[in-house]
Amino acid sequence: MTREEKSQVIESLTAQLSDNATIYLADISGLNAGDTNNLRRACFKAGVELSVVKNTLLKKAMESADKDFGELEDVLKGNTSLMISEISNAPAKVIKAFRKKSDKPLLKGAFIEEAVYVGDDQLDSLVNIKSKEELIGDIIGLLQSPAKNVISALKSSGDTIAGIVKTLSERE
C-alpha cells in the first residue's frame, strides 16, 4: 500500500469515527470463510457496517478524530474488525447471537456516546443498553402513566359517587 492509499484510508476511517457515535472493535480471527460470510449477513440485517482494518491505520485515524477514545487505542493488537451502527446495542446483539454457534467474534472494546467499554466481559452490559427509540418510548410511557391514573381514578370514583347517590336516594 502506498503512502497516498494509506492517507486516503486514514481520512476515510477518521470521517467514519467522527460521524458515528457507536463504534465496536471485535476480533473475528479464526472464523472460516462461511462463518465470516454469515457474520457479515447478520451485520447487514441488523444495520451494522463491518470492516476489517489495519491497527496502525485505525490508531492514526483515532488520533486524528475529534473524539477521546481513551483506553480503546490499547486494544489494537491482533486482528481487528470495525463495527459501526446507528443503534448503540445492535453490534453487541449481533455478536451475542453469533456466539451461540461459535466462540467468536470476541469483543475488544466499544465507544458509545463518549463512553468507552474495554474487554469481552462488557458484552452483556452493552446488549442491555437501550436504543434511543426504546428510551423515548419509556419516557413517553412514564409521562402518560400519571395522566392515566388520574383519569381512571376519576372514572372509578365517578361510578362510586353515582352508586352512593343512587343507594342513598333509594333509601329514602
Question: What residue ranges do the domains of the chain occupy?
Answer: 3-129, 130-172
How much of the chain exceeds pLDDT 90, in percent? 1
Work out the pLDDT band at 11, boundaries 50, 70, 90.
confident
Residues 107 and 71: their CA atoms lie apart, in Å, by 14
Sequence-distant (6+) residues with CB within 8 A of 39 are 28, 31, 50, 94, 98, 105
Residue bearing the bigger pLDDT, 157 or 162? 162
CA distance 84 to 52: 12
The span from the CA of 93 to the CA of 75, in Å, is 21
Higher pLDDT pick, 9 / 161 = 9
> How would residue 5 be classed by pLDDT, with cut points 50, 70 and 90?
confident
Confidence of residue 88 (pLDDT cuts 50, 70, 90): confident
pLDDT over 70 at 158, yes or no: no
Tell me the C-alpha distance between 24 and 21, whole Å. 10
- Residue 162 binned pLDDT confidence (cut-offs 50, 70, 90): low
pLDDT for position 155: 67
Distance of alpha carbon 18 from alpha carbon 20, whole angstroms = 6
Cell 472493535: give the residue.
25
Q: CATH topology for 3-129? A: Alpha-Beta Plaits (3.30.70)
The pTM score is 0.72
What does the pLDDT read at residue 2?
82
Residue range 25-47: mean pLDDT, rounded: 87
Res 106 pLDDT > 80: yes
